[in-house]
């Protein structure tokens, strides 16, 4: 039986370790040719070591798959463009882009530095925008060339910190919330050329989440990255060509489809601020409170 992604060419950013590595391995197992992109930075974004990407590629090839290493910095406009161009040059096409690269520089808001803010926004938000933008330009031209939809897919990486909110991560959470919004808008823009755009909010134990909470051995097993990747690989397949603009949560015992912001209780507008305040207070008990980090518990 052919693999779910047989013959598709997929880029996975941040694929040297953790979730990205697992995505790359499962994509290859399902028949995709994989570009393993990773600069090999530390969790805080410092340092460079491409050996991690090389190890992922070696593992894929040992299992009979096809993969290459790419060390471009996806948070750089030029680096992101080279990633897309070199993939097309090597494999002749591009079908799937999985934006997974990320760093952490957690700090309470009152202590956060400008560099801690800028670095996280750069890697996560620009590191999602830049590759997607260059891939979209390629797919637009391809659509014109073939005279129809390209059947391509983008899978971005959001987070519960972004869609629900987590203390100590205003930089990371803002970036991840931005990625969720970016996903919805890009999906609407690229639908006409046959590109789906979805996002994943993973629950997994990786080097970015180690030490954040106490976990039992059973909980660690449930947070293995292997439970997240099946959702990603399905969304990367042509079978998911009718699913777009969604944020999925996967891992820690569940797969869920997250619901976005919706307008709740409302009243007619008024000119008096005191009257507006009175109306707010009447409406507040009628609407759902914000979710907790589990997506259900209310603050």
Residues labelled catalytic: 159, 172, 176
Distance CA 19, CA 251 (A): 11
Distance CA 222, CA 205 (A): 9
Residues 6+ apart with CB under 8 A from 43: 103, 104, 207, 208
C-alpha of 135 from chain center = 15
Half-sphere exposure of 289 (CA within 13 A, CB side): 7
What b-and-e string marks burial along 261-299, b requiring 16 or more CB atoms within 10 Å of the CB? eeeeeeeeeeeeeeeeeebeeeeeeeeeeebeeebeeee
Residues 6+ apart with CB under 8 A from 156: 99, 128, 132, 179, 180, 182, 183, 197, 198, 199, 200
């Amino acid at each position: 039986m052919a693999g779910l992604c047989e013959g598709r060419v997929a880029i996975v950013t941040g694929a040297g370790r953790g979730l990205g590595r697992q995505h790359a391995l499962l994509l290859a197992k399902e028949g995709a040719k994989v570009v393993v992109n990773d600069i090999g930075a530390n969790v805080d974004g410092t340092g460079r070591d491409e050996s991690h990407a090389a190890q992922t590629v070696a593992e894929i090839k040992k299992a009979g798959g096809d993969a290459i290493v790419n060390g471009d910095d996806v948070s750089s406009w030029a680096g992101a463009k080279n990633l897309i161009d070199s993939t097309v040059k090597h494999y002749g096409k591009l079908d799937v882009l999985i934006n997974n690269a990320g760093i952490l520089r957690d700090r309470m808001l009152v202590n956060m530095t400008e560099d801690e803010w800028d670095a996280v926004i750069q890697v996560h938000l620009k590191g999602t925008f830049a590759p997607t933008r260059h891939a979209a330009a390629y797919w637009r031209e391809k659509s014109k060339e073939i005279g129809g939809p390209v059947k391509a897919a983008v899978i971005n990486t959001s987070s519960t910190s972004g869609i629900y909110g987590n203390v100590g991560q205003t930089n990371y959470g803002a970036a991840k919330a931005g990625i969720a919004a970016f996903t919805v808008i890009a999906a609407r823009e690229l639908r006409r050329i046959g590109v789906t755009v979805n996002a994943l909010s993973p629950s997994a134990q990786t080097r970015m989440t180690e030490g954040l909470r106490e976990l039992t051995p059973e909980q660690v097993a449930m947070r293995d990255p292997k439970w997240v990747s099946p959702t990603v690989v399905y969304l990367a397949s042509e079978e998911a060509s009718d699913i777009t603009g969604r944020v999925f949560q996967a891992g820690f015992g569940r797969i869920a489809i997250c619901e976005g912001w919706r307008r709740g209780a409302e009243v007619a507008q008024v000119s008096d601020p005191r009257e507006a305040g009175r109306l707010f207070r009447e409406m507040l008990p009628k609407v759902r409170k914000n979710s907790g980090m589990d997506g259900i518990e209310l603050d």
